[in-house]
Chain A
Amino acid sequence: MKPALRAAVYRSFPIAAVLLLAACAGQETKDTPKAAVEDRTPTAAPTAPQATTAPAQASPVAQTPLSNPLKDPANILSKRSIYYDLDSHAIKDEYQPLLQAHAKYLLENKNSKIIIQGNCDERGSREYNLALGQRRADGVRRALMVLGVTENQIEAVSFGEEKPKAEGHDEAAWAQNRRSDIVYAGE
């Protein structure tokens, strides 16, 4: 490289540098983003440790203050996640008991409402992934309606690739992120 060009480029460098931006004080050396844990819906994780203390407090959707089946780790209603194969929105047979349990609960609790949140892995276009997540959530919605749940109790939305449960960039992480979560209103 010619010295003059190098000088020119170094002059141009701080400008480009600012593109990156105001808030860049720290130094990041790892391959993965430093936020190991992403935002997630509080009930997205099937094993919510706080559930063990549930008897101490009433939840808005609890049937009785002493036992909220939605939060009871021993109850299938505390299972909220449906995982998918690559490029698939088909609900695997193993999730039928989970869907049936939630359908039954919603039929018995007509005031309860759920949001189904579809998710995708990070590969590909964000907006297309949003649509793929929507297709997954819509599939769960349809399955619950087949089981008799009324449409106004269910809203299917998508988080696309925006709220990954696992932050990695490998198949293990991606498999965690191909997912629909069931979240009850008020949770």
Chain B
Amino acid sequence: MIRSLLSRIRRAASTALFLAMLPSAASAALTIEIVGGGANQIPVAVTAFVGDGGTPPGLAGVIRADLARTGLFKTLDTGDNPVPPEPQVVNWGDWRGRGAEALVAGGVTQRPDGRLEVRFRLFDVAKQTSLAGVSYTVTPAQLRTAAHRIADEVYEKLTGDRGVFSTKIAYVVKQGRRFTLEVADADGFNPRSVVNSNEPIISPAWSPDGAHLAYVSFEAKKPVVYVQSLLTGQRLAVAEFRGSNSAPAWAPDGKRLAVVLSKDGGSQLYLVGADGKGVQRLAQSPGIDTEPSFSPDGQWIYFTSDRGGSPQIYRISAAGGPAERLTFEGSYNASPRVSPDGKSFAFIQRNNGRFQVAVQDIASRQVQLLTDGSLDESPSFAPNGKIILYASELRGRGVLAAVSSDGRVKQRLTASSGDVREPAWGPLPRNP
């Protein structure tokens, strides 16, 4: 079953699913336009959970939406009737008849302490066997979290890759003159503002443990790098030197950041402690060095430099030393972000005046162009490496968009007003 599902997913992936979300005429609501088919998506039935008294769309609705957004699944209409998560009560013939290859069933029971126990099973419909079954104990406010965890389990069992439905994203919203750095669940729910300013905010970066955001704010009438706790809201200016301070990137150990400072002239790479102490210069070049990004093993720092005459991507040992140029195609390659497996990097490439997301395999140097926008910026890998979130533009407005790292599945997400930009995908959650 798993093998057949995997082969189906590969077939599904060859058909692009394009979600374009356009402002509707009458209200702030959004509409979705899908271009391309989804005929080969894997059919999954996610039934309503027994005893799910939560607010619509309920646990099943959240799980369906998570799976559907990946473009790899076709979520079947299961009606409102819950199916208990017990193999002996599943009507296998019925689900087979509806075309389901996998079935998710679950239930919610209230515990004496007021918390809820959410349990689910994932079934292989053809083999009539259980592929996974987990239970979580959560507060009523954590029901969506439980749903995302279930979606993660289902996704991992059916694709072999980690799910990222329980992760968070950060991004900047510009409404008129107001800039807000927000953090939301990966599906956009539960947005909360981290910092507001009448001056620009750019370059948010998650600490590896997901507890802090580094970002650049212009509130002091110049760019300054801050590190802010998401738990307490406390923040520290970790780079506030004369001149400009920008482009924070966390080392994988969370103890240091690479930053770009102009204090000694030009825009150059430095390392600084997450406590703002111990700044040291990392490299010295006659040109611009900026946009550092650590490799996951902490060994390398990838960055943009125009030392060769045009912006290109280089890497340097995190201990310093000579820089190695990595991009050679085209006259503008910038914003490198190393993939979580360390084997490739996403970046922005200018082609005929259009800025687009590309990915380069580090070993083979092979480049694949992933998007066809004109002002695509700020690529950010999902922590499973399967999706790249980036900033794009739709009719003059900033929107977020996502593309699978193989370029085959695309989504575009836009607000009915305001600009959304500077996305940064957070790390996988620590153990529950």
A and B associate: yes
With A5-B41, A33-B397, A35-B177 known as contacts, the answer to whether A16 contacts B334 (CB < 8 A) is no
Q: Are B37 and A1 in contact (CB under 8 A)?
A: yes
For A33, list chain B residues within 8 Å (CB).
174, 396-397, 419
Number of A-B contacts (CB under 8 A): 230
Across the interface, B75 reaches (CB within 8 A) one of A8, A24, A135, A162, namely A8
Stretch of A46-54, A72-80, A91-99, A126-134 that contacts chain B: A126-134
Across the interface, B246 reaches (CB within 8 A) one of A7, A15, A25, A130, namely A130
B244 located at the interface, meaning its Cβ lies under 8 Å from any Cβ of chain A in the complex: yes
Q: Are B191 and A22 in contact (CB under 8 A)?
A: yes
Q: Are A28 and B77 in contact (CB under 8 A)?
A: no
Q: Are B244 and A130 in contact (CB under 8 A)?
A: yes
Q: Are A128 and B416 in contact (CB under 8 A)?
A: no
With A22-B191, A126-B202, A159-B218 known as contacts, the answer to whether A27 contacts B416 (CB < 8 A) is yes
For B375, list chain A residues within 8 Å (CB).
122-123
Q: Please, what's the 1-or-0 string for A89-123, where 1 marks a CB less than 8 Å from any CB in chain B?
A: 00000000000000000000000000101000011
Q: How many positions in chain A have a CB within 8 Å of any CB in the partner chain? A: 62
CB distance from B298 to the nearest CB of A (A): 21
Across the interface, B267 reaches (CB within 8 A) one of A12, A130, A159, namely A130
CA distance A135 to B290 in the complex (A): 12
Q: Are B262 and A156 in contact (CB under 8 A)?
A: yes
With A33-B397, A131-B290 known as contacts, the answer to whether A138 contacts B262 (CB < 8 A) is yes
For B396, list chain A residues within 8 Å (CB).
30-33, 169
For A2, list chain B residues within 8 Å (CB).
38-39, 74
CA distance A128 to B189 in the complex (A): 31
A19, A117, A157, A162 interface centre (most CB from chain B within 10 Å): A19
Q: Are A157 and B334 in contact (CB under 8 A)?
A: no
A43 located at the interface, meaning its Cβ lies under 8 Å from any Cβ of chain B in the complex: no
Closest to B32 in A: A13
Q: Are A28 and B416 in contact (CB under 8 A)?
A: yes
Q: Which residues of A contact B (CB under 8 A)?
A: 1-35, 38-39, 41, 115, 117, 122-128, 130-132, 134-135, 138, 155-160, 162-163, 169
Can you give 15 A-B contacts (C-beta < 8 A)? A2-B39, A5-B38, A6-B34, A10-B32, A16-B69, A16-B187, A17-B21, A20-B30, A34-B176, A125-B304, A126-B378, A127-B203, A127-B247, A157-B244, A160-B223
